[in-house]
Chain A
């Protein structure tokens, strides 16, 4: 019996390694396939999809794990992006290296998260949503107006000519030549974003299976019972806000370096709603689902943008509706359809089979911390 389980375990491990290697190869060659077949615009979309995965996973900690409805999440993305813009652009004449700015962005966004969390500890559901929505708007309006009396954010014009992400002498703005292979800029960004997205996925998975992760879920399920179990609900909730926000800060910094330009417009309410949609549509609290949600909601609007015109030409022989307008309509319909037919999300968690494959408490404890 013991030998049998050991065998199957080894077998599992072998398939897991094989799967990981397979996925790794696909992810590695993916930008080249997309770049040659679909072109650079889709490569950019791919890069953005990775940023949105990071954002969605950050929001998933707050909304999915801890059950705290945050409608202003994009504010933390803004904090990270503006920090990068201020510290690596001609605006202040500062050109700090990326390895210093990104962690700083995570810390600063985390602090902003705690600042949002502290006054809202007693709020839940709709009320929390309203306060966080206000917070998101406050941050955006600050960015919009902090050009006087001292010009910090350059107001609605935003900050431009931001340094591209560069490490040592290597800059991602120009094609890189590594071991004889030339990697174009968009591909290089893809690899960087992929690495950080994988790191954030890893951290999310570890958090989910930790003591803290269980405390978050307990608070989501029943806050009073969580207190009665000895959970310091105040600190654990603040931690959810802080962790979630820091992921957003990292993504924001990368966004600023990638885009080369930030302005308050990029951080409006619609963006917060979009990230929330990724979490809810993908499957709240389920990491693979949230990743899927992030990818889908980045790609769908672009897909409709590219297909709305040709589709009309094929069906009607002429363009009746402006593709720009039509794409949001189709996108909205797609969202409605998903929520109607898959109310728990595209890929919800199969109710917690993770911990109880064998069912004994000893196994659960072993898997835990």
Chain B
């Protein structure tokens, strides 16, 4: 579904991502793990066209998307949950969700999808009218994921969903991510929390200083002594 070939990203003269290649198949959940500063987020931003890649190709459903404008990706079926959540603080939860459906015009289906998001995150329903800025970090993350789902994506890009959250909240959010994936969504998950990410994914890629150094099935990566030593703290 998504095929990235030799993608490079540079900030000025500094190469943040070097010749990175990976694939995500339809219906699959893939984790991109690595330490802080490894280039994971830069890779994802380049995919979502928030950054312009220095070189390389990104093919989505057989179509080259590396020159598309960012807002076009949403109607192509790609939704990004940005790093640091990025909810609209002075809009209510409902308004935030409706912004997620900005590119859609099928009102009855939009209303139905709002209910679907509320069923995934009952806590959001309780606070539907509350301003997003007044929510806890975990609730904001739920909202950001819910908002991304509102565009009815085929491919969901998640950028560090666990960042800055309490362990219990992280657990709950990952449960929902898993649930969304089980419903047939293709997911690319960028995450520092390697253990959690690999536990919910089928396959994983390990990034180190801008390059992919290791790739395998998630279970095998979890068992890999190198990964265990470097990312699982063992």
A residues with CB within 8 A of B: 211, 214-215, 217-218, 221-222, 224-234, 351-352, 355-356, 359, 361-362, 364-365
Contacts and interface: CB of A to CB of B under 8 A. Distances in A.
Contacts of B54: none
A234 B69 CA distance: 10
A217 B96 CA distance: 11
Given A218-B99, A351-B90, A364-B95, A229 B129 contact: no
Contacts, number: 96
B50 A361 contact: no
Interface in B62-93: 69-75, 79-82, 86-92
Which of under 10, 10 to 19, 20 to 34, or 35 or more describes the interface residues of B? Answer: 35 or more
Contacts of B75: 230
B88 A231 contact: no
Given A211-B102, A229-B147, A222 B88 contact: yes
A359 B125 CA distance: 11
Given A224-B86, A230-B75, A356-B129, A214 B50 contact: no
Nearest to A232: B71
Q: Is the contact region of chain A dominated by helix, strand, or loop, or is it mixed?
A: helix
Interface stretch (B103-111, B169-177, B182-190): B103-111
Contacts of A224: 50, 82, 86
A229 B19 CA distance: 28
Nearest to B151: A230
Contacts of A228: 48, 50, 70, 74, 79-82, 86, 148
A229 B110 CA distance: 14
B86 A232 contact: no
B8 interface: no
Contacts of A361: 94, 97-98, 110-111, 114
Contact of A229 (B89, B99, B131): B99
B111 A215 contact: no
A229 B114 contact: no
B163 interface: no
Contact of B98 (A232, A234, A352, A364): A364
Nearest to A357: B129
Identify the 7 closest CB pairs spanning chains A and B, nearest first: A230-B74, A225-B86, A230-B103, A221-B88, A232-B71, A228-B80, A227-B70
A160 to B, nearest CB: 47
B74 A351 contact: no
Contacts of B70: 227-228
A356 B94 contact: yes
7 contacts: A214-B102, A221-B90, A222-B86, A228-B48, A228-B79, A230-B71, A232-B69
A48 B78 CA distance: 51
B140 to A, nearest CB: 11
A149 to B, nearest CB: 43
A215 B86 contact: no
B90 A229 contact: no
Nearest to B70: A227
A364 B98 CA distance: 9
